[in-house]
Amino acid sequence: MTTLTVRVARKTREAEGIAGFELERTDGAPLPGFSAGSHIDVQVPGGLTRQYSLCNDSAETHRYRIAVLRDPNTRGGSAGMHDSVNEGDTLQVSEPRNHFPLVHAQRTLLFAGGIGVTPLLCMAQRLHAIGADFTLHYSTRSPSRTAFMQEIAASPFAGKVVFHHDDGAPDQILNAPLAIGQPDAGTHIYICGPGGYINHVVQVAQGMGWPSAQIHLEYFSSTPQDTSADRAFQVKLASSGKTFEVGAKETVVQALQKHGVEILTSCEQGVCGTCITRVLEGDCDHRDLYFTDEEKARNDQFTPCCSRAKTNLLVLDL
């Protein structure tokens, strides 16, 4: 994976608990292009790698803009960005990747929960630029926790954005059935935010009859898993025929690493898709938030950073 050295040109306070970072190349050259919905991997202080969506206009080539929520429940990535990264510092980042792309649609509905606004803000900018019909519903706990609120209010697409605050009047809180409306073949829905928010919007949409193909989502982190019943299983490498045991308390990545078999990882939560590995035999216990239900049912690939096996053996294309 190609890495870029970037400088923090600007660090800002976007909202309570949210820091914004503008990144530019140290050599002043244009940055690799990206499309709305893209993210970059950032090597944060402490040796961790985290994914952050790009929230600036995708037509820009002089900067990447990200926003980071301080989350006490993570393993330190967000705290490192808040406390240890300052203007003038350099960071290593990947070229942009897009697992959450916009598709051509007659109308687009964007649903953002909290920091999930970052990829959807980029989408809103793109949709406005091409004159597309869209609405962005942006839900947060309060105005003080609403990143980019003033910026959005001053934007040329402000009239297409509806703010919803948990501490506000009842009539302005998101009414998902009303906001989504009846299924329409020309409309696509995009959702990003905390797991509970995403699940609520998805369940409402599906309950109203919206096809899964018209519902697109991106999680920022995985939900806690009950691992009390986890058991050991084996993985076999197709290239060498060697078989290794994966203990009940370790991941496939960790088990193989002990034997010198390295699998590239990034988020280690089944969110980013970096470690996807082909499965030739066996049934997977999918624990990721990356694959669709249809993709999981095929059992031909999985995320070894977190997913396990339902059968005693998985044969991997390694």
Domains of the chain with bracketed CATH: 3-94 (2.40.30.10), 107-219 (3.40.50.80), 233-316 (3.10.20.30)
pLDDT digits (tens, 9 = 90+) for 274-288: 899 999 999 999 988
What predicted TM-score, i.e. pTM, was given to this entire model? 0.79
Predicted pLDDT at 270: 78
Sheet bearing 187-193, strands edge to edge? 161-165, 133-140, 107-113, 187-193, 215-219
d(C-alpha 207, C-alpha 294), whole Å = 18
d(C-alpha 194, C-alpha 145), whole Å = 14
Which residue's structure tokens are 């599906």? 206
Predicted pLDDT at 289: 77
Kindly report the average pLDDT of the chain as a whole number: 92
d(C-alpha 36, C-alpha 70), whole Å = 24
d(C-alpha 94, C-alpha 30), whole Å = 14
Please count the other Cβ atoms lying within 10 Å of the Cβ belonging to residue 200.
Answer: 18
d(C-alpha 26, C-alpha 5), whole Å = 6
Predicted pLDDT at 73: 63
**131: DSSP letter:** T
- Residues in the chain predicted with pLDDT less than 70, given as ranges, are 1, 72-77, 220-225
d(C-alpha 40, C-alpha 139), whole Å = 24
d(C-alpha 291, C-alpha 184), whole Å = 24
| 203 touches 177 (CB < 8 A) | no
Q: 301: part of which helix (H) or strand (E)? A: strand 301-302
- What SS3 state is found at 255? helix
Please count the other Cβ atoms lying within 10 Å of the Cβ belonging to residue 194.
Answer: 17
Predicted pLDDT at 17: 93
Predicted pLDDT at 269: 76
pLDDT digits (tens, 9 = 90+) for 198-214: 999 999 999 999 999 99
Predicted pLDDT at 176: 96
pLDDT digits (tens, 9 = 90+) for 18-69: 999 999 999 999 999 999 999 999 998 877 888 899 999 999 999 999 999 9
Predicted pLDDT at 228: 81
Predicted pLDDT at 221: 60
Predicted pLDDT at 29: 93
